[in-house]
Structure 1
Amino acid sequence: MRKVGKLAVLGLTALGLALAGPQDNSLVIGASQEPRVLAGDFLSVISNQSIKAEIENYLFVPFITLNLDGQNTAVLATEVPTTQNGRVRFADIGQGRRRLEIDITIRPDARWSDGRPITTEDVQFYFEVGKAKGMPVLDPDYWERVNLRVRDARNFTVIFEPAYATDLIGNPIGYAPKHIMGAAWEQVKRQTAGLDPTRDAARLAEIYRKFFTDFSTPAYLNQGKMVYSGPFVLRRWVPGSTVEMVRNPQFPITPPGGADKYVQRVVYRFIQNTSSLQVAIMGGSIDALSRVGLTFDQARAPQLVQRARGNFDIWFVPGAIWEHIDVNQFANVPRVRELGLNDKRTRQALLHAINREGFVRTVFQGLQPVSHTWIAPVNPLHNPNVRKYEFDLKKAEALLAEMGWRKGPDGILQRTVDGRTVRFEIEWVTTAGNVVRERFQQFVAEDFRKIGIAVRINNAPSAVVFADDFIQRASEGRWTGMFMFAWISNLKENGDLFSCRFRPTRENNYQGQNVGGWCNEEYDRLRDQAVVEFDFAKRKALFDRMQEIWAEEVAALPLYFRADPLIVRKGLVNYVSAAYSGGFNYPNWEPWTIGWTQRGAEKRWDQAKYALTIR
């Protein structure tokens, strides 16, 4: 009886909170992850969490973004560069390659939240930090090709050599507050002056990580010292609970009717257990769901749908969000060699032993497509004709038998490696609290057990597993088996997720996002041709072959492409998303226009156009 009474009181309290949104022009968003850092980590050296990027959409805006239809839209740039307006120029540099120059002019009214103008000094500062020797950037390919020419305080040119066919999609370069972080960077330059990236990688990583961390923690941000360029500024971060943001009076873009008619305060509530987040929505204490929120089945649960009816709209937005399992293939890691994870037959066996169709049918009613490659069906480069691995335990057993595995007395496979008997027990990491991922682990572990594979689950919060000193350290055995998570792809598909050059190791100071370490020379050769190919048909043919190689080798274990639920209280407008909105499917890609119709906000976008029709 006590428990029932407590829930009733919580429900009433939450219902009271729910009325606050339109009344005080605020917005409360529920999220199942909390960022490890915010703001100062502008190169995502410390963390590459999706929730970090989503929240930062309120705090910082790009020069150019992608709208819901995937079209370039100017934000802090005066206009979108095109060949027609003379702001885009190509030059032939031989061997079928081009040089690309993109001219950008910063809006004259662009300002940091402290009133300081945003200038080319801030672009130059961003560029200098990204180009620093041994900087552990996520996209080293970009930093190898990009250059910058500054003409004056508001005009600059971004140069790509060689140019990629995707360089004109979205934002070509970022910026960061030099007047806040510049002095500390000068100290970093003095500290790193005599260091060699190949010899002193660990020391360089330590210095760089400290630089970004110092400007990114709750303790620093709560002092109000950081500046922001977006429509909101961070007011308070309560770790484990909330991030609160309020309107930035310096933001130059005025939504229709005036900024006062739109949301003035945004609060993120972090509820890492998705079942608890579901209860919070039903209780009414949340106005909208983060893109990092509920799972598909939870958003379709009858109890949620019934409680939400009349109060919320529930959408399912198909996107390029790829749920998959990376497999550690770094042969220098003893456990990788013992289990043969660097042998494609092992990965093929693992994939044959995963009933992806059954899971999608049971949990998602078949509404999320099983993936067979890393490129989403909504991307024009997608190849539907690659090798597919049906659920077949007999085929999995046969492949493992080829490699010398035999069941031991306890039913678990074993074989002899270097004179020792090795037991097939594989580590499996994912984000703790994500109900679907944890359910998937249990679902698959039962079938793995049938063929003699034991699973050791090693889950942790997203802030832990997506920290650079974990996810980027497979080459050092920080995780030794399988790591289940989602990559968010965009129209700038360059195939770099699986290039040999982008495997993060100590030698390259952990640059790149090929965290599992798969490497194939033919794939890389084709990729190098594809990225500089501007004829779409030819580029598509190259990517088709790349996907065929990828599928044959099982570079990673593909699971499914997500259609993410978006739950929005009725009356809230412009909190919308599409597959490539803002580049990465976030619902707050145009955050200055999010508002309540009850407060006079004007609806600019119709989510129905970009969502699945589900009966």
Structure 2
Amino acid sequence: MKLRTALMGAVACLGLAPMAHADAHEGERGRDGNVNIIYWQAVSIMNPFLSGGTKDIEAASLVLEPLARYDETGMMVPYLATAIPTVSNGGVSEDLTSITWQIKPDVLWSDGSAVTSRDVQFTFEYCTAEGGGCAQGAKFSNVESVEMIDDKTVKVNFTGPAPNPYQAFVGHESPIIQAAQFAECLGPRAPECTDANFMPVGTGPFVVTDFRVNDVVQFEANENYRDPGKPAFATVTFKGGGDATAAGRAVMETGEFDYAWNLQLAPDVIAAMAEGGMGVPVSAFGTLVERIEMNLTDPSPALEEGVRSTVAAPHPFLTDARVREALSIAIDRDLLVEVGYGQAGRATCNLVPAPALYASDNTACLTQDLDRANALLDEAGFMMGSDGVRVNDEGVRLSILYQTSTNAVRQDFQALIKQWWEEIGVETELRNIDSGVFFGGDPGSPDTFQRFYADVEMYANNFPGTDPQAYLGAYLCENIPSPETQWQGENINRVCDPAYDALWAELASTADLEERGRIGRALNDMVTKDSNIIVPLVDRGRVSGHAVTLGGVILNTWDSELWNIADWYRIGE
């Protein structure tokens, strides 16, 4: 009964409610022609199970949908399901060991076939197949089996009580894929299914008509979409590449595009663009944290492939917690906020900055302390050399390759952090990689953030919904990317801490909401202030821009930014 009561409280906290975003601009499907979207990180694949890149996952959300997702307030809303299962409505078992979903009777795949419980079951089999390297594996970590009750009813059985049963098949990172299309794509064959990965059959408002890797994706309205009056747009041109500056100008100054994603630009630059009168910026805070990730393995190109950046080769100095702490406290986060984000940024020491229940009171990193950083490096045995670079008695130099994606704000951050690190005797080489490549899922590319062929790297991501369990599960030992997993897996730091794994397992079996908050905060602290394996920098408000003629846009930081594209319409046309 205690578990049941706690889950009901958690559901209330999530704010489950029916979706209510229908607009008054009803009419025929495709009535508003084409909409142009620009993401300055180009799309490399349309399969979110084979990519951890936001641009790939969000592009795929136009086609692939989950059973439920989150609206702009963090409320869970049904999509392919008829309703959100709970204990009170009988959808979640009293002991929290299973959840039963009912699929909407009128949902069709874009090829006209019916969506069935077999598709849901197959999605689980696909993501958990050995050797497949599913990028979203943490969503299924506590799922024991998926059972077909009938064609429209599917039961997810957990390995034990699941206080948060809304991970698998919920949110844009865990959509349903068609069993028929992906049947021959299990395990190691997953990356080889080019047609399915580039042009998936889906249930969303659009279907892919042309896919050009790291360039442009063309979509057209799905004629089998369940709402006959949606989408308003007949086609979508989804252009990728360039940079945030060009994307912002293309919407707000020249009007070439209707929507620009993730305008990671200085605040004065965005304000100047808005004066162009063609578009407006929109923003919202959620859980997006710009951070530096420390590689606990050796990325040296002198090592052979298969050993480089794997657990077989520990990092020569980043395995020392004193070095990691020194690198963290040498950074002036307030200046980074001022330079990069203004009112759209907040300095943070937390990987999970929200919701409040899971936000640690960790503030230790907020004050730059170069004296302490120097003292820590002395203590670690790295003495300043005549060339200004620290070296230890074994001849190991504090020399770092610091990589990130190509973006004006990120390059500004790199320049500042390089300066601070060199002040404490850490030689720093900067590298930036095209965003489409860096965040791509190509297992053969040496430049992806998962492969991590650098000492440290910087980027941002967030989690869908309001519960960080799956997000924090990224740092479990089992989620380390390696050649055996096609370099997929969220634990890019290659950290393996049995204590962390045990505490996460406790989170996964705890129903009391306050206790979940306590455990979540402790897990956050284990990878941040206690170890500095992850060095948070800025809690970023999401900023995007859309044309003044584009209606229906509701910025969502809890799910795909394009979550309600079916409701977009053209104003005045």
Distance 1:57 1:574 in 2: 17
Distance 1:227 1:549 in 2: 41
Name 1:613's counterpart in structure 2.
Answer: none
CA shift, 1:408, in A, is 2.2
> 1:511/1:465 Cα in 2 relative to 1: closer, same or farther (>3 Å)?
closer
8 Å Cα contact 2:64/2:204 also seen in 1: yes
Distance 1:141 1:239 in 2: 27
- Map residues 375-524 of structure 1 onto 2, 5 A cutoff: 375-385=352-362, 387-388=364-365, 390-417=367-394, 421-432=395-406, 434-468=407-441, 469=443, 478-490=452-464, 491-494=466-469, 495-506=472-483, 512-524=489-501
**Which residue among 313, 327, 331 is the counterpart of 1:350?**
327
Whether 1:263 and 2:233 are equivalent positions in the alignment is yes
Mean Cα deviation higher: 164-173 or 107-116: 164-173
> 1:428/1:110 Cα in 2 relative to 1: closer, same or farther (>3 Å)?
same
Distance 1:153 1:353 in 2: 58
- Structure with the largest fraction of helix: 1
- Map residues 127-526 of structure 1 onto 2, 5 A cutoff: 127-146=124-143, 147-168=145-166, 171-172=169-170, 174-182=175-183, 184-185=184-185, 205=188, 207-211=189-193, 213-217=194-198, 221=199, 226-254=200-228, 258-259=229-230, 262-281=232-251, 282-290=253-261, 293-297=262-266, 300-308=269-277, 311-330=278-297, 339-365=316-342, 367-385=344-362, 387-388=364-365, 390-417=367-394, 421-432=395-406, 434-468=407-441, 469=443, 478-490=452-464, 491-494=466-469, 495-506=472-483, 512-526=489-503
> 1:286/1:477 Cα in 2 relative to 1: closer, same or farther (>3 Å)?
closer
**What secondary structure, in the 3-state scheme, does the structure 2 residue paired with 1:307 have?**
coil
Distance 1:524 1:473 in 2: 28
> 1:540/1:507 Cα in 2 relative to 1: closer, same or farther (>3 Å)?
same
> 1:510/1:37 Cα in 2 relative to 1: closer, same or farther (>3 Å)?
closer
**Which residue among 93, 102, 107 is the counterpart of 1:105?**
102
Which string of whole-angstrom CA distances, capped at 9 and with x for unpartnered residues, describes residues 53-73 of structure 1? Answer: 111121122221112222221
- Map residues 520-535 of structure 1 onto 2, 5 A cutoff: 520-535=497-512
> Which letter does structure 2 place at the counterpart of 1:493?
P
> Which letter does structure 2 place at the counterpart of 1:481?
D
8 Å Cα contact 2:260/2:544 also seen in 1: yes
Whether 1:34 and 2:9 are equivalent positions in the alignment is no
What percent identity do the matched residue pairs reach? 21
CA shift, 1:333, in A, is 6.0
> 1:210/1:476 Cα in 2 relative to 1: closer, same or farther (>3 Å)?
same
CA shift, 1:306, in A, is 1.3
CA shift, 1:339, in A, is 4.4
8 Å Cα contact 1:278/1:298 also seen in 2: no
Distance 2:218 2:324 in 1: 44
**What secondary structure, in the 3-state scheme, does the structure 1 residue paired with 2:367 have?**
coil
Distance 2:314 2:384 in 1: 19
> Which letter does structure 2 place at the counterpart of 1:285?
E
**What secondary structure, in the 3-state scheme, does the structure 2 residue paired with 1:73 have?**
strand
> Which letter does structure 2 place at the counterpart of 1:316?
S
CA shift, 1:379, in A, is 4.5
8 Å Cα contact 1:330/1:474 also seen in 2: no
> 1:300/1:475 Cα in 2 relative to 1: closer, same or farther (>3 Å)?
closer
Name 1:589's counterpart in structure 2.
Answer: 563
Distance 2:519 2:87 in 1: 26
> 1:163/1:462 Cα in 2 relative to 1: closer, same or farther (>3 Å)?
farther
> 1:79/1:265 Cα in 2 relative to 1: closer, same or farther (>3 Å)?
same
Structure whose alpha-carbon radius of gyration is higher: 1
Distance 2:288 2:178 in 1: 31
> 1:250/1:526 Cα in 2 relative to 1: closer, same or farther (>3 Å)?
same
Name 1:116's counterpart in structure 2.
Answer: 113
CA shift, 1:342, in A, is 0.7
8 Å Cα contact 1:234/1:245 also seen in 2: yes
8 Å Cα contact 1:138/1:512 also seen in 2: yes
Whether 1:539 and 2:516 are equivalent positions in the alignment is yes
Distance 1:475 1:368 in 2: 23
8 Å Cα contact 1:473/1:504 also seen in 2: no
**What secondary structure, in the 3-state scheme, does the structure 2 residue paired with 1:51 have?**
helix
CA shift, 1:299, in A, is 7.2
Distance 1:489 1:179 in 2: 29
Whether 1:71 and 2:75 are equivalent positions in the alignment is yes
CA shift, 1:117, in A, is 1.3
> Which letter does structure 1 place at the counterpart of 2:414?
Q
Which string of whole-angstrom CA distances, capped at 9 and with x for unpartnered residues, describes residues 465-517 of structure 1? Answer: 23453899999985130011112123231121333343334567756311112
> Which letter does structure 2 place at the counterpart of 1:575?
V
CA shift, 1:527, in A, is 2.1
**What secondary structure, in the 3-state scheme, does the structure 2 residue paired with 1:430 have?**
strand
Distance 1:334 1:387 in 2: 30
**What secondary structure, in the 3-state scheme, does the structure 2 residue paired with 1:437 have?**
helix
Mean Cα deviation higher: 350-359 or 299-308: 299-308
Give 5+ residue unaligned stretches, structure 1: 1-21, 92-97, 189-203, 600-615
> Which letter does structure 2 place at the counterpart of 1:330?
T
CA shift, 1:592, in A, is 1.4
Distance 2:207 2:328 in 1: 45
8 Å Cα contact 1:299/1:565 also seen in 2: no
> Which letter does structure 2 place at the counterpart of 1:272?
G
**What secondary structure, in the 3-state scheme, does the structure 1 residue paired with 2:352 have?**
coil
Which string of whole-angstrom CA distances, capped at 9 and with x for unpartnered residues, describes residues 68-121 of structure 1? Answer: 222221222222222233222132xxxxxx41x222222222111121111223
Give 5+ residue unaligned stretches, structure 2: 1-29, 299-306
Mean Cα deviation higher: 268-277 or 474-483: 474-483
8 Å Cα contact 1:289/1:568 also seen in 2: yes
Name 2:539's counterpart in structure 1.
Answer: 561
Distance 1:299 1:115 in 2: 49
Which string of whole-angstrom CA distances, capped at 9 and with x for unpartnered residues, describes residues 395-418 of structure 1? Answer: 11111111221222322222232x
8 Å Cα contact 1:474/1:480 also seen in 2: no
Distance 2:374 2:102 in 1: 61
